[in-house]
Amino acid sequence: MPGKDVDLVVIGAGLSGCALVAALRQRGWCGTIQILEAGRGPGGRCATRRRRDAPLWRLDHGSPTLSFQVEPSGPLRELITSLENRGVVRVDHDPVVGLDHHGDVVEAPDHPLLRGPRWRGIPTMATVVEALLADGGKDVDACFGERVQTLSRVEESWVFPGGLRAERLVLSGTLLAHPRSLAMLGWQDVPLRQAVPHGHDPVLDEALAWIAGLNASIRWNLMLEFPAVELDPFPRQIWLTPQAQQQFGVERLVLQRQQQGRLGLVLHGLDDGALITPKTQPHLLTVQEQRLLSVLPELLRPWPSLQRLASSAHSLGVMRWGAAQPLDQGMSKALQWCNQARVGFCGDWIAGSGFGMAEGALQSSIDLAELIAP
């Protein structure tokens, strides 16, 4: 972690974190920004899996599209239009079908992620966050492979290991503010609560109390490579009906064409409630991989050419999304910026149109930028 003073540290280089950087620059804010991201590159749930043994391989293993509840307007419309004009996204009209508990193709189920307009990153979803990050300009430094595990506030500055100091802090996810981090990461206390004592910032106290009650769905996403497949009219997404989801433990399958006729496929597996800790995680990843592989042939029955190749599909591993989609209701926008502690929040878990979607993540970043740079 770099040892320097900056105006703002953003933890997380997912969609909302990178959109915040772009929104601040759009508003003319010229402060220095340091992004700290645990992954190997930007993306978060818009991440794209690459492979050293296949340089052209690109597989979107999180969200396959930017989903909206309604047509964007105002600054959000301007952002999407800018991305469209640069060839970063296109409107998604790729076919989506449903699959019922008998294994038959039906109409796609009524799901919030499918009701409104959608955009797809070109050529991948990671392209979107890369473009937003680039909009931040030369005064944005991004460090990858940096898993922040502690937070400290000293003399009105946020201090990180290695000597990094920041006047402001933004969390684009809830991990460092949510009690779920305790069991999953073996911590003794919520890092943000440790850094700022109760009573120092009433707005932060209210935000932390709300975050503690936040629930989110979990997904176990199995990534597969299929050998060369004929160019059959496969759907882009296969959504299981609610009864089928309960039967198979899978939400949907997402298909993505690769070079030389190969095919990437991602099974979005549902969680079974098993407690995950640093000790249990490796075992649970193996269990989920085996479970998802076992149901794959039956899910592909309507597409015989794919079903025949299921046994020869190469597993690229499982990605666990611990907060795949927020549930219940979002945190009030009034709690997004805690001025006394100089800490803010953005993400799809903030209340408003598009809650739980890319729309909500992008809008929360635009709103937070207005609070930081009024």
Q: Which two tokens stand for residue 337?
A: 């910026």
- Give the pLDDT confidence score for residue 276 in this predicted structure: 81
Structural domains in the chain plus CATH codes: 5-47+125-214+329-372 (3.50.50.60), 95-111+216-325 (3.30.519)
The pLDDT, as a whole number, for residue 165 is 96
Asked whether residue 345 carries a pLDDT value surpassing 90, the answer given is: yes
* 7-11, 148-152, 225-229, 365-369, range with the lowest pLDDT: 225-229
The percent of residues above 70 in pLDDT, for the chain, comes to: 98
**Of residues 275 and 272, more confidently modeled:** 272
Residue-wise pLDDT for 41-77, tens only, equals: 999 999 999 998 888 899 999 999 999 999 999 999 9
What's the pLDDT score for residue 1? 67
Q: Provide DSSP, 230-285.
A: ------SEEEEPHHHHHHHSEEEEEEEE-GGG-EEEEEEEEP------TTTHHHHH
pLDDT of residue 231: 60
Q: What is the pLDDT of residue 313?
A: 94
| pLDDT confidence bin for 104, thresholds 50/70/90 | very high
Instruction: Give the start-end residues of each E strand in the chain.
Output: 5-11, 33-37, 48-51, 54-60, 66-67, 89-91, 96-99, 105-106, 118-121, 140-144, 152-154, 157-160, 164-171, 216-226, 237-240, 250-257, 263-270, 314-326, 337-338, 343-345
Bridge partners of 257?
263
Q: In Å, how far from its chain's centre is CA 144?
A: 16
pLDDT higher at 183 or 36: 36
pLDDT at 342: 98
Q: Tell me, what's the pLDDT at 263?
A: 93
Q: Quick one: average pLDDT of 115-126?
A: 96
Cα(360)–Cα(94) distance, rounded to whole angstroms?
22
Ranges 272-281, 322-331, 350-359: which has the least confidence: 272-281
Q: Is the pLDDT of residue 230 over 70?
A: yes
Residue 367 pLDDT grade (very low, low, confident, very high; cuts 50, 70, 90): very high
pLDDT value of residue 47: 92
Here the tokens at position 10 are 């953003």
| Nearest one of 55, 24, 4, 3 to 346, comparing CA atoms | 24
